[in-house]
């Protein structure tokens, strides 16, 4: 058994998982959570427009990392891996960010490719699924990018057939297209056009027609599922492996698009850091649902396990 720590620093949030990973004689791995935490730091603030990480965003991320580092020490973590994704890949001043992470955490943060991000997400997402439900399509909608990965799962290892990351996420789409509060019809039409155009690249690379089970991971999907289930507050136990019909996803998206900022903020399961960007994320989910429904998919399975779990498994 190894006690490991995984840190995922995305465009919108930074998340920590401390877990015990056990590997059996047959090679099967199991994960037991010790500590799991998420903070919205909006590292990608303005990157799409300026090409640089904002000093305030770096400061917010540093504050979260200082706290995370203290948790790692208290929990007796043996190994740690931190990955950084879309916002840092795009930033002209990314060296400032990596100098900060090295100073605070004591290890190098890795800028992983979109395809590596998708592979790690796949491993984490399918770990609790019945292999017979494959092939699986895992979608990971982040702040700045969306990853699609198609593959199979035999209960021990994932077999990835195809993966693609494209530059569309809840923060990027919101900053680019959704200007009104609530978004105007013109805002929504523009956002849908942009999303379809960018996702077309992923659909060309990933044979989505082979999908038997669609799994959605990360905060946009889990928040949508919590809202669709009318949960009074966010409850991971109710959300993990929940199955939601695609029409219900569309209904929830339509409701969100009519709400003001304050109305969205008042929703019980809504994290304060997602209020501004949930509409953009929901439109990406809805576009995926429309595409996959035409290929025979009828529901979305939400998973609380994602790239964090995949990173932790990679340390075993």
Q: Where residue 231 sits, what CATH number does that domain have? A: 3.30.420.150
* Contact by Cβ (8 Å): 290, 227: no
Flag whether 212 is in a domain.
yes
In this prediction, residue 108 carries a pLDDT of 86
Residue 13 has what pLDDT?
Answer: 86
For the cut 90, the answer to whether the pLDDT of residue 11 exceeds it is: no
Over the stretch 41-62, which tens digit does the pLDDT of each residue have? 988 888 878 889 999 999 999 9
Whether residue 298 lies inside any domain: the answer is: yes
Q: Is the pLDDT reported for residue 87 higher than 80?
A: no
pLDDT at 86 over 70: no
Where is pLDDT greater, at 66 or 21? 66
Q: How many CA atoms lie within 13 A of 254 on its CB side?
A: 6
Is residue 238 a contact partner of residue 226, using CB atoms and an 8 Å limit? Answer: yes
Peptide bond preceding 182 in cis form (omega within 30 of 0)? yes
Sequential DSSP letters for 205-239: HS-GGG-SEEEEESHHHHHHHHHHTT-SS--HHHH
Q: Within a 10 A sphere around the Cβ of 188, how many other Cβ atoms?
A: 19
Give a yes or no: residue 316 inside a domain: no
CA distances in angstroms from 314 to 70, 117, 123, 254, listed in the order given: 22, 12, 9, 39
pLDDT for the residue numbered 49:
81
Give the end of a domain, one of 88, 114, 140.
114
Backbone angles phi, psi at 109, to 5 degrees: -75, 140
| Domain edge (last residue) among 59, 91, 114 | 114
Tell me the residue length of the chain.
316
More confident residue, 23 or 217: 217
Residue at a domain's end among 50, 85, 114? 114
pLDDT band at 169 (very low <50, low <70, confident <90, very high): very high
Mark whether 166 and 258 lie in a shared domain.
Answer: yes
pLDDT at 46: 81
Looking at the fold, whether 227 and 184 belong to one and the same domain comes out as: yes
Q: Are residues 31 and 83 in the same domain?
A: yes
pLDDT of 85 over the 80 cut: no
- The answer on 194 and 171 residing in a single domain is yes
119 part of a folded domain = no
> Has residue 312 got a pLDDT over 70?
yes
* One domain, residues 166 and 106: no
pLDDT tier, 114 (very low <50, low <70, confident <90, very high otherwise): low
Mean pLDDT for 123-132 is 88
Answer yes or no: do 143 and 76 share one domain. no
What is the per-residue pLDDT across 220-272, written as a single tens digit (0 to 9) for each?
999 999 999 999 999 999 999 999 999 999 999 999 999 999 999 999 999 99
Average pLDDT score over the chain? 91
* Together in a domain, 143 and 105: no
147 and 291 co-located in one domain? yes
Which residue range is the domain that position 224 belongs to? Answer: 128-307
Q: Is the pLDDT of residue 191 over 90?
A: yes
Q: What is the pLDDT of residue 28?
A: 66
Identify the band that residue 89 occupies on the pLDDT scale cut at 50, 70 and 90: confident
Query: Cα dist. 280→143, 182, 186, 255, 284 in Å?
Result: 9, 12, 14, 13, 7
Do residues 23 and 143 share a domain? no
- Tell me the C-alpha to C-alpha distance, in Å, between residue 242 and each of 67, 131, 287, 301: 32, 17, 20, 6
Domain match, 227 and 260 both: yes
Measured CA to CA, the distance from residue 208 to residue 149 in angstroms comes to 9
**Structural domain contains residue 121:** no
Instruction: Answer with the residue of higher pLDDT: 295 or 115.
Output: 295
Same domain, 277 and 233: yes
Q: Measure the CA–CA gap between 214 and 287, rounded to whole angstroms.
A: 13
Do 235 and 271 fall into the same domain?
yes
CATH of residue 11: 3.30.420.40
The answer as to whether 122 is a domain residue is: no
For the chain, the domain total comes to: 2
102 assigned to some structural domain:
yes
Q: How far apart are CA 107 and CA 109, in angstroms?
A: 6
54 located within any domain: yes
Question: What pLDDT shows up at residue 31?
Answer: 83
């Amino acid at each position: 058994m190894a006690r490991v720590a995984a840190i995922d620093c995305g465009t919108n949030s930074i998340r920590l998982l401390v877990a015990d990973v056990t590997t059996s004689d047959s090679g099967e791995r199991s994960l037991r959570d010790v500590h799991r935490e998420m903070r919205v730091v909006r590292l990608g603030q303005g990157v799409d427009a300026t090409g640089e990480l904002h000093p305030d965003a770096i400061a917010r991320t540093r504050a979260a990392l200082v706290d995370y580092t203290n948790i790692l020490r208290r929990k007796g973590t043996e190994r740690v891996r931190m990955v950084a994704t879309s916002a840092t890949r795009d930033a002209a001043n990314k060296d400032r960010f990596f100098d900060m992470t090295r100073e605070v955490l004591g290890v190098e943060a890795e800028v992983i490719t979109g395809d590596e991000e998708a592979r790690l997400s796949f491993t984490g997402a399918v770990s609790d699924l019945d292999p017979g439900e494959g092939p699986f399509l895992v979608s990971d909608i982040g702040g700045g990018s969306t990853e699609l990965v198609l593959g199979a799962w035999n209960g021990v290892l994932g077999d990835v057939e195809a993966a693609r990351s494209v530059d569309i996420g809840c923060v990027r789409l919101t900053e680019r297209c959704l200007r009104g509060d609530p978004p105007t019809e013109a805002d929504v039409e523009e956002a849908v056009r942009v999303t379809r155009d960018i996702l077309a690249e992923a659909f060309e690379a990933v044979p989505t027609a082979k999908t038997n089970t669609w799994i959605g991971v990360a905060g946009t999907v889990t928040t949508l599922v919590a809202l669709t289930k009318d949960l009074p507050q966010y409850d991971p136990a109710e959300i993990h492996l929940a199955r939601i019909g695609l029409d219900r996803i569309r209904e929830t998206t339509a409701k969100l698009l009519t709400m003001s900022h304050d109305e969205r903020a008042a929703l019980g399961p809504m994290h304060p850091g997602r209020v501004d960007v949930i509409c953009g994320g929901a439109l990406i989910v809805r576009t995926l649902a429309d595409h996959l429904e035409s290929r025979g998919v009828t529901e979305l399975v939400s998973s609380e396990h994602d790239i964090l779990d995949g990173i932790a498994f990679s340390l075993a």
